[in-house]
Amino acid sequence: MTGIHVVVGASGGTGRALVRELVRRGRQVLAINRSGSIPVPEGVEVAAGDATDPDRMIELCRGAAVVYNAVNVPFVQWREAFPKAVDGVLAGARAAGAVMVFADDTWMYGRVEGAMREDLPYRPVSDKGVLRAWLAERVLASHSRGEVRTVIARAPELYGPQVESLLARNLFGAAVGRSPAVWVGAMDQPLGPLFIDDFARGMIELGEQEASYGSVWHIPTPPAITARKFLSILEAESGSRVRALRVGAGTARALGLVWKVAQEGAEMLYQFHQPHVVDASAYQERFGPVEPTAYEDGIRRTLQWYRQSPRQRLMSLGA
């Protein structure tokens, strides 16, 4: 697709993966973050911009063909900043006549018994799930009103370089640093994590496929495994024994008394006591078969990044 591909939130794991994949496809890329300072491949333009500032987004998105909203707002700022960031990016895409691709999660579905499908009703059981549901409806409403062509890409738990998630420093940083890996949830429930580069490829595909617009799509993952199996692959690929420390939701909530991030993230931990996988058959049927990155390959590549990034090895409960 000709025109500029604008990545808003280019500092995070999803944003960086989008930039890498867009460059690989030969697209003209503008990477935006708040500071305007980020390492990027040769040929990528970088600009400073706050997604909550619609005027700045309109200025930066001028000439865009596709705008990717990969903004990752810290948990403690979600309620205040996330709606403004969504509206700001929508304003930029609308002024440019561009498609807006929104990076989303599955928190709006609430408690489920099997694989999550795009047609499931929204039944959030957390404040952040309610907010996610509202933001998704806001994005799709812009499309239905004819204001902005939008599409939503949804993923379950993500992992990979620069990614902040329950699978991030808690597991990979621990494996590289030879400290106990922390897992919050059931060890033997179905789990279908998505490697970050696969999520980026899916977002780009949706942004360039007119048939995707106005809808929600789950990005394909490898066949589901379990946390226990994921940890065994992590151990094999790291070449060292990985000790697993299972932390219950109650402990995580107790940590929240003294640790704001844990407090904010604890309400989402129900997801890891139930099947945490998506049904992406609609994407596969509409856009052709996709071969997601195997867990062994994704884990190996993530470990390599953590070995090169020692400052990323501290425990996290998500971001």
Are residues 57 and 202 located together in one domain of the fold?
Answer: yes
The verdict on residue 289 lying in a domain is no
Q: Quickly state the pLDDT bin for 314 (edges 50, 70, 90).
A: very low
Q: Are residues 137 and 38 in the same domain?
A: yes
CA angle 45, 49, 53 (to 5 degrees): 145
23 and 92 belong to one structural domain: yes
Q: In terms of domains, do 84 and 108 share one?
A: yes
In a domain, residue 281? The reply is no
Would you state the pLDDT for residue 284?
A: 97
pLDDT at 103 over 80: yes
User: How confident is residue 252, by pLDDT bands cut at 50, 70 and 90?
Assistant: low
122: Cβ–Cβ under 8 A, 6 or more apart, which residues? 108, 109, 110, 133, 136
Query: Dihedral angle at the C-alpha atoms of 264, 268, 272, 273, nearest 10 degrees?
Result: 110
Whether 28 is in a domain gets the answer yes
* Amino acid at site 229: K
Q: Can you give the CATH number for the domain in which 171 is found?
A: 3.90.25
Amino acid 78: pLDDT: 84
C-alpha to C-alpha distance for 45 and 265, rounded to whole angstroms: 34
Mean pLDDT of the 201-216 span:
98
Residues 40 and 48: beta-carbon distance below 8 Å: no
Q: Which residues have a Cβ under 8 Å from the Cβ of 118 and sit 6 or more positions away?
A: 154, 215, 216, 217, 218, 279, 282
Q: Which of 182-191, 219-228, 289-298 has the lowest mean pLDDT?
A: 182-191
CATH number at residue 82: 3.40.50.720
Q: How far apart are CA 43 and CA 278, in angstroms?
A: 36
| 93 & 207 share domain | yes
Q: Is residue 319 part of a domain?
A: no
Residues of the chain above pLDDT 70, percent: 91
Its sign, for the CA torsion 26, 30, 32, 36, is: positive
Considering the domain architecture, whether residues 77 and 100 belong to the same structural domain is answered as yes
Mean pLDDT on 172-199: 91
The per-residue pLDDT for 172 is: 92
Distance (Å, rounded) from C-alpha 9 to C-alpha 66?
A: 14
Do 253 and 269 have their domain in common? yes
* Total domains, the chain: 2
pLDDT for the residue numbered 311: 63
Q: Are 14 and 33 in contact (CB under 8 A)?
A: no
| pLDDT score of 237 more than 60 | yes
Question: Is the pLDDT score of 256 beyond 50?
Answer: no
Residue at 318 is within a domain: no
**pLDDT at residue number 179:** 84
Pairwise CA distance, residues 270 & 110, whole Å = 9
pLDDT of amino acid 318: 42
Query: Which pLDDT score is estimated for 102?
Result: 98
User: Rounded CA gap, 9 and 312, in Å?
Assistant: 19
Element (H, E) at 104: strand 99-104
Q: Report yes or no on 286 lying in a domain.
A: no
3-state secondary structure of 217: strand
Whether 214 and 85 share a structural domain:
yes
Q: So what's the pLDDT on residue 305? A: 95
Alpha carbons 165 and 31: distance in angstroms, whole number: 22
How many whole angstroms separate alpha carbon 265 and alpha carbon 269?
Answer: 7
Residue 119 within a domain: yes
In a domain, 31, yes or no: yes
> Are the C-beta atoms of residues 182 and 245 closer than 8 Å to each other?
yes
* Percentage of the residues of the chain whose pLDDT score is greater than 90: 75
Q: pTM of this prediction?
A: 0.93
What is the predicted pLDDT for the residue at 50?
97
Encode pLDDT of 74-91 as tens digits.
Answer: 877 888 999 999 999 999
Which of these, 88, 105, 290, 126, lies nearest to 216 by C-alpha position?
105
Whole-angstrom Cα distance, residue 309 to residue 174? 13
- Is the pLDDT at 17 greater than 60? The verdict is yes
Question: Residue 273: which pLDDT band, with cuts at 50, 70 and 90?
Answer: confident
Range of the domain at 199: 4-157+194-218
Provide the residue count of the chain.
319
pLDDT for position 118: 98
